Structure 1
Amino acid sequence: MSQSTKIPLLCNIGLLLFSGIALAQVEKNSELFQTLKQKDSLLFKIGFNQCDMDVSASLLFEDLEFYHDKSGVTNSKSEFVEVMKNGLCRENNPNKIYRFLVKESLEVFPLYNNNKLYGALQNGIHYFSPDKDMDYTSSNNDAQFSHLWIIDADGQWKIKRVISYNHKSK
């Protein structure tokens, strides 16, 4: 196959793969999307913004892995909760920040095993501000995230893996 034939072929294969991935996202009005959007809200509006670590902990697997492009790896739920309690959520923290989801950035991709839903990948963009009433106006302090949600043995959605990356600062 000549070089001039390979390039269009590779472009077509890439386009087909991209189209298949784009179609795998669930509709924003679907039950799955709404469930995980609500879980994201609990995790951040209650757990992160209000520092209710019991709520955050209830949404995490014991063997949580959290990969952060600025602060490294957290290897368990207990380590994550401890870091939050002694850092962002410590009493009288003068550097408290709040997390906000960028509207319309949330995406959910279901994961199946033999046609049975066992989890989902949730991607989005969020931003951080010391102002708890801030509206998103620019790309200041935003980052991308991917949460791997798995249905546990009791039928509850919990986060197994987190990747938080591409953090930008003012």
Structure 2
Amino acid sequence: MKQFKHRLILALLVTLSITIQAQEDGNSQVFNTLKVNDSLLFDLGFNTCDLSQFKALITDDLEFYHDKSGILNSKQAFIDVMANGICSATNPYRARRELIEGSLKVYSLYNNGKLYGAIQEGSHRFYERFEGKETPGSIAKFTHLWIIDKDQWKLKRVLSYDHQL
């Protein structure tokens, strides 16, 4: 019985250590790289309609799943929606996204010990601007799958969900 308890404690400690190591530390290179990429996508790409950020950081076969507006199946479809929607010169409505402080988490993905990608998750708040007035919009969660393609981090899959006003 005593040996069983020791094995159980050892198994719990091993499981706990694997769980603790699964999430990247906020100071790790992977975490910081993806935090910078998040900023490029949203602070520059989304907030200022700099579509070149999307072109540089998204895979051609992007899949984007949104709980309110459906599915987009390519980088070009995503860029077209942005260019003809929120970023259209004739659209008086603008949006701004802000990452909720402390919500960002990153989990590295390995294949036979080699880093090939990461899962990034967090929460963000959107603000709506119309005729110069900005008001708080929805808060939502996101999960991003980043892969390393030719030594560059690229966004391959997006889940945008749980939008709440």
Coarse TM-score class (shorter-chain normalised): 0.7 to 0.9
- How far off is 1:46 after superposition? 0.5
Residue 141 in structure 1 maps to residue 138 in structure 2: yes
**SS of match in other structure, 2:145:** strand
Match of 1:33, SS state, is helix
Relative to structure 1, the CA distance from residue 113 to residue 130 in structure 2 (aligned partners, 3 Å threshold; closer, same or farther) is same
Residues 66 and 111 (structure 1 numbering): CA distance in 2 closer, same or farther, change over 3 Å?
same
Question: Deviations for 1:55-103, whole angstroms, at most 9, x for unmatched residues?
Answer: 1121000000000000000000000000000111111422211000001
Unmatched runs of 5 consecutive residues or more in structure 2: 1-10
Distance 1:99 1:41 in 2: 10
SS in structure 1 of the partner of residue 48 of structure 2: coil
Find out whether 1:167 has 2:163 as its counterpart: yes
108, 111, 129: which one aligns with 1:110: 108
CA distance, structure 1, for counterparts of residue 43 and residue 117 of structure 2 = 22
Q: Deviations over 1:1-39 (max 9, x none)?
A: xxxxxxxxxxxx9xx868744541010011110000000
Q: Aligned residues, how many? A: 152
Identity of aligned residues (%): 51
Task: Describe the SS at the equivalent of 1:55.
Answer: helix
Letter of the 2:57 partner, please give it.
Answer: L
Aligned to 2:75: 77
**Aligned partners of 1:126 and 1:64: how far apart in 2?**
21
| Corresponding residue SS for 1:97 | strand
Greater fraction strand: 2
Q: Distance in 1 between matches of 2:18 and 2:69?
A: 34
User: How many angstroms apart in 2 are the aligned matches of 1:39 and 1:77?
Assistant: 16
| CA drift at 1:141 | 1.2
Sort the Cα spacing of 1:19 and 1:144 in 2 relative to 1 into closer, same or farther, 3 A.
Answer: farther
Counterpart-to-counterpart distance in 2, 1:62 and 1:102: 28
RMSD value, Cα: 2.5
Matched, 1:43 2:41: yes
